[in-house]
């Protein structure tokens, strides 16, 4: 199947104590952790590709470039948006952004690679 630039998806997260830098051991403050923010961006990229891959295909993360610009406290909602920017062979580059009710929280790019699921898993054995 052909992956089209411009495909987009959003995912939301209500920040809980489990999503904080303290919980993920990436810092000492009770705000949305950067690793959790990155996972949310990757979730949006996967969602943007729903129904665009062949049945035996999936994508795997290759590169993440994120600028985490503002903190988000527990109890606030964030929305991550991913848009397919460019497709080069098996590589798919997304622009990603994360916003909360106050504005921009993070911005960046995520690159994923299309792989045959079984062949990829064979490499792990």
Structure tokens at 80: 């991550």
**What CATH number corresponds to the domain at position 21?**
3.10.129.10
pLDDT band for 1, please (50, 70, 90 cuts): low
The answer to whether the beta carbons of residues 117 and 96 sit under 8 Å apart is: no
The residues facing 57 across adjacent strands are 116
- Tens digits of per-residue pLDDT, 87-125? 999 999 999 999 999 999 999 999 999 999 999 999 998
The answer to whether the beta carbons of residues 48 and 9 sit under 8 Å apart is: yes
How many CB atoms are closer than 10 A to CB 104?
12
Q: Which domain holds residue 88?
A: 8-122
105 part of a folded domain: yes
21 part of a folded domain: yes
53 part of a folded domain: yes
**Number of domains forming the structure of the chain:** 1
> How far apart are alpha carbons 112 and 15 in whole angstroms?
25
Q: Where are the beta strands (DSSP E) in 1-125?
A: 8-14, 57-68, 77-88, 91-100, 103-116
98 part of a folded domain: yes
1 part of a folded domain: no
- Tens digits of per-residue pLDDT, 20-46? 999 999 999 999 999 999 999 999 999
38 part of a folded domain: yes
Angle at 78 between CA 83 and CA 113, to 5 degrees: 35
2 part of a folded domain: no
- Tens digits of per-residue pLDDT, 58-84? 999 999 999 999 999 999 999 999 999
100 part of a folded domain: yes
């Amino acid at each position: 199947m052909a992956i089209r630039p411009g495909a987009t998806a959003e995912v939301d997260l209500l920040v809980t104590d489990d999503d904080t830098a303290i919980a993920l051991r990436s810092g000492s403050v009770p705000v949305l952790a950067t690793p959790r923010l990155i996972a949310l961006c990757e979730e949006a990229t996967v969602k943007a590709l729903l129904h665009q891959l062949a049945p035996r295909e999936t994508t795997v993360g290759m590169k993440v470039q994120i600028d985490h610009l503002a903190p988000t406290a527990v109890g606030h909602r964030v929305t991550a948006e991913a848009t397919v920017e460019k497709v080069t062979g098996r590589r798919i580059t997304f622009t990603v952004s994360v916003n909360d009710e106050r504005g921009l929280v993070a911005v960046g790019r995520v690159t994923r690679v299309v792989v045959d699921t079984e062949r990829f898993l064979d490499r792990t054995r």
